[in-house]
Amino acid sequence: MTELGKPLQANSTPIPGLMVWELPVHGDNRGWFKETWQREKMVAAGMPDFGPVQNNISFSESAGTLRGIHAEPWDKFISVATGRIFGAWVDMRSGPTFGRVFTAEIDPSRAVFVPRGVGNAFQTLEPNTIYTYLVNDHYSADARYPSVNPADESLGIDWPIPLEQAELSAKDRAQGTLAEISPVVPRKTLVLGAGGQLGRALRKIYGDAPHVEFADHADVDLTAEDFGAQRRWRDYDTIINAAAYTAVDVAETAQGRVAAWAANATGVAALARVAAAHGITLVHISSDYVFDGAVKRPYREDDALAPLGVYGQTKAAGDQIVATVPRHYILRTSWVIGDGRNFVRTMLSLAERGVDPAVVDDQFGRLTFTSELARAIQHLTTAAAPYGIYNVSGSGPVSSWAGVAQRTFALAGHDPNRVRAVSTAVYFGNATGPVAPRPASSVLDLAKIESTGFVPADGDESLADYVRLEILETSGATS
């Protein structure tokens, strides 16, 4: 008998991501009614916004009919229209819960969300049972997925109707054991701009993870007409866009303006279309240049955009585009330092060569090391933090560029007074080419990302570690 009047409720299970849902069923003298899938209510109650694209129904005439155990390469949300089933789920994903089993009886007042890689099976307990399920990828005859014999003793499934009396397909009876299958690996992560400073930091943090791919412009051309068909995008869970046009002064030229808009807006739009169409999480790197620097407090994520130059305008446009993707993280950062040409390395080189630089003292912010930015990306995506914009930089005291230069000189054992502090107007006063306007303040409020459990590293401590390693590498001590 179907239970009526239950409130909508999600219940976790021993298999991560597998959720049993209690569904409200409303009945009267005519019968009953239920909302099998109600996106707004269910997402608010904890359902992944998994984006179903296909609705399937199977009818089983006899009690004891058994289907599965199959781990298809898509998520599914299953329920019963009429009758009852005994459901069994086996985690076939690589990891510590591989082989874990969960069983439950399902009638029209219950449903189950089954994540990709979890084997799904059911046995009908009543004749004329109708089983229905939503999936977030279209069926493909070419799809390959692991299957396990329902009689595998290692699973310990106590089928209500003995298998010798059950209706099974010949294919299901012939499946092998759990010990014979290859675990399902996670959906892929694609890192774009893998040769840049952030790309190299991401290589370090993800190591040799088999599900992470790295690509440069030569591997992936976002402006290509066939970009959307270059990969089977349903195999990807996340795209990290670490590629961008960052030559802020050259962007003020006619040629640079075209290149900046192509990379930071047109290419981003191509990524956004793919991500939205295939339920992919898009991670995008933004910049303090989307602001004019006039605000006297640290910038929050919801502050109005007011870019001063072409580079900032293209980054602001990219942010607006990415924000239309249902699953997105925009990491807004400032004063980036990593493995490559950067401000700190330039100061170290000048200090060592006896050059006393002039550095601006009326632009303020905090350094962001690419290792910290990569750590924030990994944190947000693995912790399933709420989608949206997050400020990311080092923590600690705010400094000017001149202050950073002086601190770098001191850390390297040189006299910090060799650095001459000047205004931006003086510094660029004799420039022979175009100069992009800079925000006077690039200080970012870090409260939002801290609320997710991420603890930003102290910027000065990170600078000290960076300088120490640079000196060791230059001296050959690390070789």
- Let me know: does 65 contact 124? Beta carbons within 8 Å: yes
HSE-up of residue 120 (Cα within 13 Å, Cβ side): 23
Sign of CA dihedral 455, 459, 465, 469: positive
Alpha helices for 394-458 (secondary structure H): 401-411, 424-427, 447-450
| Nearest-angstrom CA–CA distance, 81 and 84 | 9
Residue 144: CB atoms within 10 Å: 7
Beta pairing class for 328-333 and 281-287 = parallel
Identify the active-site residue in 26, 131, 133, 328. 133
Under DSSP, the state recorded for 296 is S
CB 256, CB 310: distance < 8 Å: yes
What DSSP line would sit under 161-205, residue for residue?
Answer: S-GGGSB--HHHHT---GGGSPPBPPPEEEEESTTSHHHHHHHHH
**328 is an active site residue:** no
Q: In 251-395, at which residue ranges do the beta strands (DSSP E only) sit?
A: 281-287, 328-333, 336-337, 358-360, 364-365, 368-369, 388-392
Residue 390 annotated in active site: no
The 3-state DSSP class for residue 287 equals strand
Instruction: Quickly tell me which residue has 């591989």 as its tokens.
Output: 98
Q: Residue 298: which of 369, 396, 438, 159 has the closest Cα?
A: 396
In Å, how far from its chain's centre is CA 222? 19
User: Are 299 and 161 within 8 A, CB to CB?
Assistant: no
Catalytic residues: 70, 133
